[in-house]
Chains A and B, each alone.
Chain A
């Protein structure tokens, strides 16, 4: 199916390319079809709606191609090499530096200047994430933050007041009230809770804290918020730092505390977490709480098996900290229709499109007003997403996704170490120090 649609896409691209080649002078009647690609199937309907609106307004057709995350990035490289890449791609901050460094992306700064795009309409500092060496490679289209997801029944059964979850604290020494909470939420097969005498950590029925595998060097949902709340910073500067600070003792301390909770039986062990992600463990009640990103609000809010709700991240020694990250459309350098591609990018970054996205509320649109509208749509459905939106409104709580070159290589290297920490095979302090050296080699 996917392969077939790629072939069709390639055909479409070459067909339009031929059409463009014959008439060098732009004719008003020339029919242009842009190709646009994205990876999240949940977002496809929203952007399809944008595309329809865009075609109605400009006469330019947009053909959207959706592929899963991994196929998307592998396919993109080969498509760029073979000259069949889409005109506009959905881009991620972990990937765009490498594409830009290889001259595969169009600098849109001249267009932004010409059309006087208001970069202040976007949430926080999202727009500047896409600037590298004075060139701009995307306009923010959405953002995401992290919050806690909990099983309402588990919290009730533990006799914890849900209102109290709004003011959790955490520190890497005793874990604060968050540490207390996950002990209480952990129940063994005899019904004993983690903070009661006789708790058997080898027979846990429900873990207080679920575990998602992966995360690489960032640990965006897994541990970033703990480490950042101690004052830890990933890089010497962001974006485009050249030195990862993984030998920071505060990071080692954070991950050691995390590992201690695993040893004590309050966190789902890595071996049990499985490769199917957070959903099975939360839906089957094997875990009571997990930190997760706003891009999965729909999954949790729409669950029919369990009732889930959201709570803000705990306050650490340096306050509450969440990574904020966002996607942006980039124009590929080889596009035959740069002007029309820019019209589409501008439309994606405008209220006209983002208000449509907000109505469907699959993601938080980058424009602050549209994000508020998305939160309202959630509220109308009875879902309180303030845990995600409040933190996004507070610049002091936000930390931007670490952006460097060679992100894939660094993530592979770091993931192996995080796996070993989760399998309790290494002490975080030593392992992180060695990892720091290896990553420094990659970035050299």
Chain B
């Protein structure tokens, strides 16, 4: 989507005629004026809290009494905390299952939509799960997947299979949460892919068909490579979102059973608001921030996000 703007935008148009001219300074002033509202919002609601968060991570603070400066003690404690590493490992497990299944399914849905139907009704229906709030999804699945009264287990037993514990078993819980969120998000992700596919010129498919390519070859040789910038965008956004898994855990398992779903965000939350170790929680949040930045940079680099094969 950003791509379309980039190709047809005025910046590109002037660039095509040889040398770039410097903009008159009055333009810059107007530009800054337009940016001001969002810059102010960024400074007040993002930058300031982030800096304050870093400061809190250097203190020992329980919300109720005055913060005490402790330097890097929180970070040192964190590195020695088995629960912190466990939380990172579980979060990674969640992200791999969630992003893996969600991306594959979303791509499949998008291709089906692109190749088979352009119906607005189908497109709308596919994002319905995404419109249901996470907490609602969590509560509904908590009942549907319950061992004693759950509908899903009832169906499994009708099919002659054994009832499963899902959220209640430490071996299944994190995968259950990941797949529930895959179900909720895949329609929306599919829509993003679908939008990206609309930018691929139709004549490429016609040419490929003339050359004797089947659907699978067309998908591999045409759709996938040309979809790459969109894929990067979708992956970056959904991986960051996936790392922030919290609500489903908070509603269904609360980090249990036996720590099996204590993802990093839930652990941060517990430390901050159940156990009142604000400094320690801020240190973990700062670390997560660093991890996400590194991860995003790697993703952008590996998938060459800024270049498109469509030239």
Residues of A within 8 A of B (CB): 73-74, 77-78, 80-81, 98-99, 102-104, 213, 270-276, 280-281, 284, 286, 406, 408-409, 412, 415-417, 419-420, 422-423, 425
Contact in complex: B147, A272 (CB < 8 Å): yes
Please judge, given known A-B contacts A412-B270, A423-B257, whether A102 and B168 are in contact too, CB under 8 Å.
no
In the bound complex, how far is the Cα of B124 from the Cα of A159, in angstroms?
60
Please judge, given known A-B contacts A77-B276, A102-B64, A412-B270, whether A271 and B147 are in contact too, CB under 8 Å.
yes
Please judge, given known A-B contacts A272-B168, A273-B168, A275-B168, whether A416 and B146 are in contact too, CB under 8 Å.
no
Chain A residues whose C-beta falls within 8 Å of the C-beta of B256 in the assembled complex: 213, 415-416, 419
A118 to chain B, nearest CB (A): 33
Q: Is B167 an interface residue (CB 8 A)?
A: yes
Contact in complex: B259, A272 (CB < 8 Å): no
B98 to chain A, nearest CB (A): 21
Residue in contact with B147 in the complex, picked from A103, A274, A417, CB distance below 8 Å: A274
Q: Is B170 an interface residue (CB 8 A)?
A: yes
Chain A residues whose C-beta falls within 8 Å of the C-beta of B259 in the assembled complex: 416, 419
Please judge, given known A-B contacts A74-B274, A77-B276, A275-B252, whether A280 and B165 are in contact too, CB under 8 Å.
no
In the bound complex, how far is the Cα of B255 from the Cα of A271, in angstroms?
15
Q: Is B273 an interface residue (CB 8 A)?
A: yes
Name the residue on A nearest B251 (C-beta): A275
The digit string for B247-263, where 1 denotes a CB below 8 A from any CB of A, is 00000110111110000
Contact in complex: B146, A280 (CB < 8 Å): yes
Chain A residues whose C-beta falls within 8 Å of the C-beta of B63 in the assembled complex: 77-78, 80-81
Chain B residues whose C-beta falls within 8 Å of the C-beta of A284 in the assembled complex: 148-149
In the bound complex, how far is the Cα of B63 from the Cα of A423, in angstroms?
36
Name the residue on A nearest B257 (C-beta): A419
Q: Is B142 an interface residue (CB 8 A)?
A: yes
Residue in contact with B273 in the complex, picked from A74, A103, A280, CB distance below 8 Å: A74
B77 to chain A, nearest CB (A): 11
Q: Is B65 an interface residue (CB 8 A)?
A: yes
Chain B residues whose C-beta falls within 8 Å of the C-beta of A422 in the assembled complex: 257
Name the residue on A nearest B274 (C-beta): A408
**A-B contacts at CB below 8 angstroms, number:** 90
Having A78-B63, A423-B170, one finds 11 other A-B pairs with CB under 8 Å, namely A74-B274, A77-B276, A103-B64, A275-B252, A276-B146, A286-B148, A408-B274, A408-B275, A409-B275, A416-B258, A419-B257
Residue in contact with B165 in the complex, picked from A271, A276, A281, A286, CB distance below 8 Å: A271
Q: Is B143 an interface residue (CB 8 A)?
A: yes
A106 to chain B, nearest CB (A): 15
- Chain B interface main SS type: loop
A333 to chain B, nearest CB (A): 10
Contact in complex: B142, A275 (CB < 8 Å): yes
Contact in complex: A272, B65 (CB < 8 Å): no
In the bound complex, how far is the Cα of B62 from the Cα of A1, in angstroms?
29
Contact in complex: B258, A276 (CB < 8 Å): no
- Which A-B residue pairs are the 4 nearest by beta carbons? A271-B165, A419-B258, A102-B64, A419-B257
Q: Is B169 an interface residue (CB 8 A)?
A: yes
Contact in complex: B148, A276 (CB < 8 Å): yes
Name the residue on A nearest B150 (C-beta): A274
B81 to chain A, nearest CB (A): 11
A-B contact pairs, 8 of them (CB 8 A): A98-B276, A276-B146, A276-B149, A284-B149, A286-B148, A419-B256, A423-B169, A423-B258
The interface centre, meaning the residue of A213, A286, A412, A423 with most chain B CB atoms within 10 A of its CB, is: A412
Name the residue on A nearest B267 (C-beta): A412
Contact in complex: B148, A274 (CB < 8 Å): yes
The digit string for B57-70, where 1 denotes a CB below 8 A from any CB of A, is 00000111100000
Chain A residues whose C-beta falls within 8 Å of the C-beta of B165 in the assembled complex: 271-272, 274
CB neighbors of A among B136-153 (8 A) = 142-143, 146-150
Residues of B within 8 A of A (CB): 62-65, 142-143, 146-150, 163, 165, 167-170, 252-253, 255-259, 270, 273-276
Please judge, given known A-B contacts A271-B147, A408-B274, whether A276 and B170 are in contact too, CB under 8 Å.
no
In the bound complex, how far is the Cα of B276 from the Cα of A416, in angstroms?
20
In the bound complex, how far is the Cα of B276 from the Cα of A99, in angstroms?
11
Please judge, given known A-B contacts A412-B270, A416-B258, A425-B258, whether A276 and B64 are in contact too, CB under 8 Å.
no
In the bound complex, how far is the Cα of B57 from the Cα of A126, in angstroms?
40
In the bound complex, how far is the Cα of B169 from the Cα of A420, in angstroms?
10
Name the residue on B nearest A412 (C-beta): B270
In the bound complex, how far is the Cα of B252 from the Cα of A275, in angstroms?
8
Contact in complex: B170, A275 (CB < 8 Å): no
Name the residue on B nearest A81 (C-beta): B63
Contact in complex: A274, B257 (CB < 8 Å): no
Chain A residues whose C-beta falls within 8 Å of the C-beta of B275 in the assembled complex: 406, 408-409, 412
A216 to chain B, nearest CB (A): 11
Chain B residues whose C-beta falls within 8 Å of the C-beta of A99 in the assembled complex: 64
In the bound complex, how far is the Cα of B34 from the Cα of A345, in angstroms?
57
A432 to chain B, nearest CB (A): 14
A178 to chain B, nearest CB (A): 24
Contact in complex: A272, B64 (CB < 8 Å): no
Contact in complex: B148, A275 (CB < 8 Å): no
Contact in complex: A274, B258 (CB < 8 Å): no
In the bound complex, how far is the Cα of B277 from the Cα of A406, in angstroms?
11
Chain B residues whose C-beta falls within 8 Å of the C-beta of A272 in the assembled complex: 147-148, 163, 165, 168
In the bound complex, how far is the Cα of B258 from the Cα of A81, in angstroms?
32
Chain B residues whose C-beta falls within 8 Å of the C-beta of A77 in the assembled complex: 63-64, 273, 276
In the bound complex, how far is the Cα of B259 from the Cα of A213, in angstroms?
14
Contact in complex: A275, B273 (CB < 8 Å): no
Name the residue on B nearest A417 (C-beta): B258
Chain A residues whose C-beta falls within 8 Å of the C-beta of B62 in the assembled complex: 102
Contact in complex: A280, B274 (CB < 8 Å): no
Contact in complex: B274, A276 (CB < 8 Å): no
Contact in complex: A104, B64 (CB < 8 Å): yes
Chain A residues whose C-beta falls within 8 Å of the C-beta of B252 in the assembled complex: 275
Name the residue on A nearest B142 (C-beta): A275
Name the residue on A nearest B162 (C-beta): A202
B143 to chain A, nearest CB (A): 7
A418 to chain B, nearest CB (A): 9
Contact in complex: A81, B147 (CB < 8 Å): no
In the bound complex, how far is the Cα of B252 from the Cα of A103, in angstroms?
34
Contact in complex: A102, B65 (CB < 8 Å): yes
The interface centre, meaning the residue of B146, B168, B252 with most chain A CB atoms within 10 A of its CB, is: B168
Name the residue on B nearest A411 (C-beta): B274
B47 to chain A, nearest CB (A): 22
In the bound complex, how far is the Cα of B258 from the Cα of A422, in angstroms?
10
A293 to chain B, nearest CB (A): 20
In the bound complex, how far is the Cα of B227 from the Cα of A159, in angstroms?
71
Name the residue on B nearest A284 (C-beta): B148
A275 to chain B, nearest CB (A): 6
Chain A residues whose C-beta falls within 8 Å of the C-beta of B142 in the assembled complex: 275-276
